[in-house]
Structure 1
Amino acid sequence: MNDNHGSTGTISRRTLLKAAGAAGVATLAYPPILTAQGDQPVKLGVDNPLTGTYAITGRNELHGMELAVEEINAKGGILGRPAKLIVEDSTSGDAGVAVQKARKLIDKDKVDFLVGNVNSGLTIAMSAVAYEKGVFMMDPGGHADPITGSECHWNVYQVDPSTTLLVNAIAPSLVNRFGKKFYFLVPDYAFGHGLLDAYKVNLQKLGASNLGADLIPLGTAEYSSYLIKAQAANPDVIVILQNGEDQTNVLKQAVQFGLDKRFHIAGANIELETLEALPPTARIGNWVIEWYWNQPDVPHVKEFTAAITKKTGRVPTARTWFGHTAIHACALAANTAKSLDAVKMARALDGLTLPPEVALQPHPATFRANQHLLIGTLWAGHAQTQGDAGADDLFKIDEVIESKTIAPTVEETGCKMTWPA
């Protein structure tokens, strides 16, 4: 599929079966499909960034989604019908555009599922539309706590870890290893605010201090004034919470200023896309990575990595995995419920553990009942110029964390889920 087009072309089941066989697509376990293959596709409406700060991460999520559709259709589709992506560019930061595209996908394209967004603020706006319309929605890559916390909805599921999970996975280690004085560079929207809030909770528990936090607009290219302020505060750790191109820019400039020689650089999550875009000297700092391709002892990861590499020429990133998992989870919801009714699908996925060939991680990955956040595995470690596994091995895993050991309770998340009668 061309990323610039609004939808994938319709492909016959015979063609997909041949392509799947040639590519060695992994066999996926789904509940039995009761109806015969139909002509009308099941539509998955993707409302995700293809332009702007998050274009690269959005496109990698799309590559994962495309592979998932190929695999699903090779196994008989969704309820015996072919799955089809209909793709809209939400932009990276315009909630109005994202909402407009969500309404278009639901009202005009009549999608069965709404999928998105990389940007947490856009995810929250889209989820309000999905809730209003009663449409099942899967969030592949927006992390903010409220999505499955204080603003949770019965019809919305979240694949990627929440901001609280990301920070809980790394903050204690940073305090123990590098010191108790922190300074924060924060993207000024829901994702950054959530990360900062989670850090504040952790610092208070650990007896550490917040020396200051700058709220920085999304899409900022020049960070010198913020880096000067961070340097003047003389912290033990400068915490960089940006993502996408913003994360790449601030890390490059931090190294140009020599801050990595005087302070420890860290954050919350790091993207492989960021590490690939950085010069080797700027691959620095301690982070959480949300999924990693170099897991030699985890079943099915090698096959997934090979399939994505054949498709894109690059190893999969966490974003590729997000997209792949999101679409498979939609198919599992429908095939388990034996229905495209949104309530029945949401009930079917509530508390469901993903099969290993979809989860692709060492610990079980389960959509937590009555909250709908996927609880699985996180990896804490540090950036590296290049590891033993080759040019794409840019992250060294120091600790594999089972997310349920660091997750707040459902009550603590603020989710009070109500279901339709």
Structure 2
Amino acid sequence: MTDRIRLTTRRRTFLAATAAVGGLQLSSPFIIKARGETPVKIGFIDPITGSLSALAVSEVESAKWTVAQMNKKGGILGRPVELLIEDSANDTGTGVQKAHKLIERDKVDMIMGDVNSGIAYAIMGVTSDKKVFHIVPGGHTDPITGKDCKWNTFRTCNTTAMDAAAVTGELVKRFGKKWFFITPDYAYGQTLQANFVKNLTALGGTWQGDMLPIANTDFSATLIKAKAFKPDVLLNNMGGAAQINCMKQFVQFGMNKEMALGGALFEIESIRSVPKEAQTGWWTMEWYWNQPNVPHVKEFVDAISPAIGGRKPTARHWMAYVSLHAARLAAEKAKSLDAVKMAHALAGLELPPEVALMPGKIQYRAGDHQLMSDIFVGQVHPPGPGGPDDLFTIEATVPGEKAAGPAEATGCKISWPS
């Protein structure tokens, strides 16, 4: 089946920076539509502009590729898939507005998004009110599948509690219990730091830290404070462009020679953009392209790489790929696009190996709709013999169920429509 790509410009053309990250040139909305019967419409909202754009662009790249491949194999329920991509611009109000537009005007069958946890949480309020099936590929804040969970919402990426639990022990064991946090002051950072502090305190540790704006650019005052505290580990919890800027300044201050570096997420998109001296530390990786003994991983990597400029796919590519296939599997199991039927079908569903692309048993847990995926803990380093994206060595694999703890402990109590 031949794909037809139609560009529709509405209010503005996205910044040229978008094209520089992954070769995308998008307008609002960007639509991929396969020829055929009445399409299944999927709305995909991400911050394609703003400080998290590199992460969002990877998700969008993968979503485009995944839908194209899906349509070649019959789409969803034998119908072509139409992907409507909207830019939240890293702004909650804009994200909510785009969700309303996709649901009320474009009549999408389901929604996916957002990278920004605060926006994902706000969109969840819209999809819950409108009773629309919703998957969050990459927004981590805990309440989405915790105390504020909804029957219609599922999450593919980890919770902040899972990432913090997976790496805390390694950081303490290898470096010590005196930590300094640099954390973004919004939903993701707030829950991530709270989880780290809880885990560290339970191990007898001490800490200091600063909460900073999500798009902060100048970290000098905070780094001076960290330098004076003399921590065993500096945890850089920022994301995207802010994390990159912080890493560069960390090296400029010579702090890479004074203390260990680590945290929850230092994503490949960001590692590529920092000096070699800052390509270091112990972190979690939510998916990694180099899993030589895991079925279908190499097949996926080889297939998608030509579509993303020859680079290796990142965890963000994996999140979008899994989310879209999870929606397909739910619809096929339910034999319907009805949101309630799809949600019941996906709850507890174990993903097949060619979708999971991980060594363990991967499923969307019925109790909280959180994907129980393996978490890779290891070291970031400058490019190795595997090429420019050989930037991480897996040292331990933590099962998602172990990191997450029981669903009952999350505070999630799913209430289904009568």
Q: Which runs of 5+ in 2 are unaligned?
A: 6-23
Q: Does the Cα contact within 8 Å between 1:3 and 1:59 map onto a contact in 2?
A: no
Q: Does the Cα contact within 8 Å between 1:287 and 1:383 map onto a contact in 2?
A: yes
From 227, 247, 250, the equivalent of 1:254 is 250
Q: Distance in 1 between matches of 2:280 and 2:353?
A: 32
Superposition pairs of residues 142-291 of structure 1, within 5 angstroms: 142-210=139-207, 212-291=208-287
Q: Is 2:342 aligned against 1:345?
A: yes
Q: Is 2:316 aligned against 1:293?
A: no
Q: Is 2:155 aligned against 1:140?
A: no
From 63, 66, 69, the equivalent of 2:67 is 69
Q: Does the Cα contact within 8 Å between 2:33 and 2:83 map onto a contact in 1?
A: no
Q: Distance in 2 between matches of 1:84 and 1:364?
A: 30
From 395, 400, 406, the equivalent of 1:398 is 395
Q: Does the Cα contact within 8 Å between 2:279 and 2:380 map onto a contact in 1?
A: yes
Is the partner of 1:165 in helix, strand or coil?
A: helix
Matched residue count: 394
Q: Is 2:114 aligned against 1:117?
A: yes
Q: Distance in 2 between matches of 1:209 and 1:43?
A: 50
The structural deviation recorded for 1:405 is: 1.7
Q: Say if 1:3 and 1:160 are closer, same or farther in 2 by CA, change over 3 A.
A: farther
Q: Distance in 2 between matches of 1:308 and 1:150?
A: 36
Read off the aligned partner of 2:283 and give its amino acid letter.
W
Corresponding residue for 2:94? 97
Is the partner of 1:118 in helix, strand or coil?
A: coil
Corresponding residue for 1:362? 359
The structural deviation recorded for 1:8 is: 2.3
The structural deviation recorded for 1:11 is: 2.8
The structural deviation recorded for 1:56 is: 1.1
Q: Distance in 1 between matches of 2:308 and 2:180?
A: 38
Q: Does the Cα contact within 8 Å between 1:141 and 1:322 map onto a contact in 2?
A: yes
Is the partner of 2:294 in helix, strand or coil?
A: coil
Bigger relative contact order (CA 8 A; separation at least 6): 1
Q: Is 2:127 aligned against 1:127?
A: no
The structural deviation recorded for 1:128 is: 0.4
Read off the aligned partner of 1:90 and give its amino acid letter.
S
Is the partner of 2:31 in helix, strand or coil?
A: coil
Read off the aligned partner of 1:164 and give its amino acid letter.
A
Q: Distance in 1 between matches of 2:138 and 2:327?
A: 15
The structural deviation recorded for 1:3 is: 4.3
| Aligned alpha-carbon RMSD (Å) | 1.1
The structural deviation recorded for 1:236 is: 1.1
Read off the aligned partner of 1:208 and give its amino acid letter.
G
Read off the aligned partner of 1:76 and give its amino acid letter.
G
From 393, 397, 404, the equivalent of 1:407 is 404
Corresponding residue for 2:9? none
Describe the superposition over 1:212-242 as per-residue Cα deviations: whole angstroms up to 9, x where unpaired. Answer: 1211001111111110011111111111101
Corresponding residue for 2:26? 4
Q: Distance in 2 between matches of 1:309 and 1:176?
A: 37
Is the partner of 1:295 in helix, strand or coil?
A: coil
Q: Distance in 1 between matches of 2:238 and 2:304?
A: 26
Corresponding residue for 1:16? none
The structural deviation recorded for 1:396 is: 1.3
Q: Is 2:330 aligned against 1:308?
A: no
Q: Does the Cα contact within 8 Å between 1:3 and 1:50 map onto a contact in 2?
A: no
Is the partner of 1:268 in helix, strand or coil?
A: strand
Read off the aligned partner of 1:51 and give its amino acid letter.
T
Q: Distance in 1 between matches of 2:369 and 2:31?
A: 28
From 311, 335, 344, the equivalent of 2:332 is 335
Read off the aligned partner of 1:180 and give its amino acid letter.
K
Q: Distance in 2 between matches of 1:316 and 1:154?
A: 31
Read off the aligned partner of 2:26 and give its amino acid letter.
N
Read off the aligned partner of 1:154 and give its amino acid letter.
W
Corresponding residue for 1:81? 79
TM-score normalised by L of structure 2: 0.92
